[in-house]
Structure 1
């Protein structure tokens, strides 16, 4: 049997792409890692709930990727992929190799090979869709979903700005602009805390004159300013590291193959 999906016409010249090995972990007993299922979901596979590495469920998803997304063959040339018989794996092995996806040893029982072939074809389909949208300028000025909401969520101290500026003025300290971010407002609050509750002699203090600057500064006042700038830069680098760790952690969750320890900021085992 065959012909489960109606093709939309041929599209030759599909770019060959090397397939990255899929994660071996299985989810829900169907043998597909979560990252691969999410990619199929993003592509709009209509039978995601029954997708599997076994039997016709596997054959149908391979056929769907070719007829609906990749379209390496003309419609008439896809006949061997629609015939779900003993020769199907041989036809798919030839088809995958034409796309640059390793398919040696592809059989019904070779689960690892089947997984890698499906993962490679899925990656190629995602790549082709991205390339088409990029060429059509549909990705221009694209804003990741939730980024604006995340930025807005970080601005939580804006209501304190008028009162804080009044206090800063009393202490003859520079006032903050109306669009000041939470990090600047927090720094202003710390300045006020130092003026209201000065550090006692028993508590350790930071000597800006002894802070290594990395540059030769003779003027004591300029040295203090450079020291403060280095401290602020260190805080920015710390926040940057936190942001990088968050992005890496989210990317690992998308691939369903986490190898990241976000606490250490390291990638790999």
Structure 2
């Protein structure tokens, strides 16, 4: 919530500010006083800059009183927001002539004159809905013996999946691991488990059931891999015989 003001003030880490972190909060207060507000003389900032002192909270409250801060010192977000606003006001006052030239028109002109980034990726220039692209996808699907879907983008997804699973470098080196050998499963001869009364719907149901089982097997494989990975860590504890304990 403070990023824009911190950036304008050129704070070193505007993205990582955490006002709930005691050290981070105290360092911010000191930085604002040292760099932007400068209410105290340099020699009078010692107690505020002693962020590790047990008396820092008292010095912090005294500092807010000296600034006539209307916010409760315990309300950190409100305090930080008020101090940042005060710092921005002082920053503008110190450089008023510089910021007067920063009009909306000047900012707009700088944006228009900024160099344009030319994208060199040829894929970004493709028209995925053009007839030429659609025909190219369908011809590629025919070459790979993939049935063409009415939506050519769905066909493209099927082509991508086939290439990733069957035509990758790993798959080509070990084709036996991805291309299963043996007699094909008689999917349409299997029992569906229920009857729709329509032959075509029955076959569609059998295909969907087989796809569902395939997804379940893939999920189970990933679960097994996770279990093995966890067991690799937990099943081999280090033993410290000096302590007479087992564990990491």
- Structure number having the greater helix percentage: 2
TM-score by length of 2: 0.40
TM-score by length of 1: 0.37
Structure label with greater radius of gyration: 2
